[in-house]
Amino acid sequence: MNRMNRAEIASAAKAQLTPFNVIAALIILASLVVLAIRFTRGLGAVTNLSNPYPWGLWIGFDVMCGVALAAGGYILASTVYLFGLKQYYPLLRPAILTGFLGYFFVVIALLVDLGRPWRLPYPVFYSYGVTSVMFLVAWHVFLYLTVQFIEFCPAVFEWLGWKRVRSWVVKLTIGATIAGVILSTLHQSALGALFLLAPTKLHPLWYSELLPVFFFVSSIIAGLSMVVFESTVSHRVFKDQVNSHHLARLDGLMLGLGKAAAITLFAYFSLKWIGVARGQHWSLLATPMGLWFLVEMFGFVALPCALFAWGSRTGNVSVVRATALLSVVGIIINRLNVSVIAFRWDYAQRYWPHWMELLVTVGIVTVALLTFRWIVRRMPVLRAHPEYQGLQ
Amino acid sequence: MISFAGLLLATSTKGIEYIVAIAAVIGFLLFLRFLGGPRGKKPSR
């Protein structure tokens, strides 16, 4: 019997030795070593950050991109619960889970950048910096994480079999969704508002008094595109988890999201040019940074807008799925442009991330992916729980 | 989008801002019509 148990354990351990798991384990181990250096020897030992460039990859990618790409949660929750488009329900739980994990790991990345993690609760419980945009962002991320946890709780309680607690939490859903939309609207735009403090440091083509509006509208694009992208990947990787009737409806949902993304991209494209017109910066378009701005505008805003429109109009789901990836890349480029590339663009000594900064970022993304996989394989996220089918 | 562009029109001070905002609204309406239009040819009677 004992020998059999050992054999079972050995075969289970062998099954875990997939190339993905091995590479993930190596990345996480290496990241932990870098984190140990960062917390014992400071930022200077592992990053290329300096006084002119206090915000690097960890803020530009992990925080700015992380928050934008986690917007799928509030987009889908408002689509289903507030606009009443119940047919999108099958995409809701994966979107909320992606959003929750996105925000959770944004906080982890922020801790790595800020240091002194025991001071994390200060803006919420102890030191109120009510005149700071960062105070607003801290409160909103704290509250929105709580809201997203409440929104995801029904899946956890279905998994645990806690029926009564689940029914209590479900009653909070509409209130949590409304709170989530309010909080998201404010903190997505607040991340843009952070850069209103640096009109002389940000390139004029990216700097605009409309930056909060740009960040909010582009977060809708990021949320919609991430839902399409994440759904495409999860339905391939976790094929065994998905109900067949849900798979049959999936293409129609993708086309609907593609159409919504096309409309939002068009609005965003127009607003960006209104921003350029208000700043009167037409002459800067002929400079190298201006050309990069045009690449962002036409390659990662106008092109995905046209492709989403064409794909959703002709019913071509493959085009919509591929365009979602292009759109996600566009959002990442935009956030990196605002926070890193076009920030102190005229400074002689340019910032380039240290390989250890890159490693920590990859490590955080890897842990997020592993957590997502762990949850999806256990809880009713992509599939409906047998006892609650029909209630959704 | 339309209400926002309208707000910008109301606060615009330069000619180019009016032109861009009006073009944005007209383009947006045409784009919505394109997206909501029928797919393929209409059936002939």
* pLDDT tens track, chain B, 45 positions: 666 666 666 666 667 777 887 888 888 888 888 887 655 555 554
Residue A168, in any domain of the structure: yes
Residue B8, in any domain of the structure: yes
Residue B45, in any domain of the structure: no
Residue A362, in any domain of the structure: yes
Amino acid making up residue A244: S
- Residue pair B2/B25 in contact (Cβ under 8 Å)? The answer is yes
Residue A29, in any domain of the structure: no
Residue A98, in any domain of the structure: yes
CA angle, corner A206, sides to B15 and A299, nearest 5? Answer: 95
- What pLDDT score was predicted for residue B18? 77
Residue B41, in any domain of the structure: no
Residue A67, in any domain of the structure: yes
Domain containing residue A151: CATH number: 1.20.1630.10
- What pLDDT score was predicted for residue A241? 78
Nearest-CB residue to A266 (from B4, B23, B28): B28
| A263: closest chain B residue by CA | B32
Residue B21, in any domain of the structure: yes
Per-residue pLDDT of chain A (392 residues; tens, 9 = 90+): 455 677 788 887 777 788 899 999 999 999 999 999 999 999 999 999 988 888 899 999 999 999 999 999 999 999 999 998 989 988 999 999 999 999 999 999 999 998 888 888 888 888 888 888 888 888 988 999 999 999 999 999 999 988 899 989 889 988 999 999 999 998 899 999 999 988 999 999 999 988 999 999 999 999 999 999 999 998 888 888 777 777 778 888 999 999 999 999 999 998 898 888 888 888 999 999 999 999 999 999 999 999 999 999 999 999 999 999 999 999 999 999 999 999 988 888 888 999 999 999 999 999 999 999 999 998 988 887 777 765 55
Q: Are A274 and B27 in contact (CB < 8 Å)? A: no
Q: How far apart are CA A122 and CA A124, in angstroms?
A: 5
B27 — contact with chain A (CB < 8 Å)?
A: yes
Nearest-CB residue to A270 (from B24, B35, B39): B24
Nearest-CB residue to A309 (from B5, B27, B34): B34
Q: How far apart are CA A194 and CA A59, in angstroms?
A: 12
CA A65 to chain centre: 6
Q: Are A259 and B35 in contact (CB < 8 Å)? A: yes
The reported pTM is 0.89
Measured CB to CB, residues of chain A less than 8 Å from chain B are 213, 259, 262-263, 266-267, 270-271, 273-274, 277-278, 280, 309, 312-315
B42 — contact with chain A (CB < 8 Å)?
A: no
Residue B29, in any domain of the structure: yes
User: Percent of chain B having pLDDT more than 70?
Assistant: 49
Nearest-CB residue to A270 (from B1, B37, B39): B1
Residue B20, in any domain of the structure: yes
Task: Tally the domains of chain A.
Answer: 1
Which one, of A370, A369, A365, A336, lies nearest residue A109 by Cα?
Answer: A365
- What pLDDT score was predicted for residue A320? 95
Residue A10, in any domain of the structure: no
Residue A217, in any domain of the structure: yes
- DSSP state letter for A123: I
Q: Which domain holds residue A337?
A: 54-346+355-384
- What pLDDT score was predicted for residue B30? 87
Q: Which residues fall within 8 angstroms of residue A321, CB to CB, at 6 or more apart?
A: A228, A229, A232, A254
- DSSP state letter for A349: S
- Token pair 């875990």 is found at A16
Residue B42, in any domain of the structure: no
Q: Helices (DSSP H) in A42-172: which residue ranges?
A: 57, 66-69, 72-77, 89-114, 133-160, 163-171
Task: Tally the domains of chain B.
Answer: 1
Task: Report how many helices (DSSP H) and strands (DSSP E) chain B contains, helices first.
Answer: 2, 0
Q: Which domain holds residue B9?
A: 2-36
Residue B44, in any domain of the structure: no
**Cα A39 to Cα A4, A46, A112, A373, distances in angstroms:** 45, 10, 8, 29
Find chain A residues with C-beta within 8 A of B19's C-beta.
Answer: 277
B4 — contact with chain A (CB < 8 Å)?
A: yes
Q: Are B39 and A314 in contact (CB < 8 Å)? A: yes
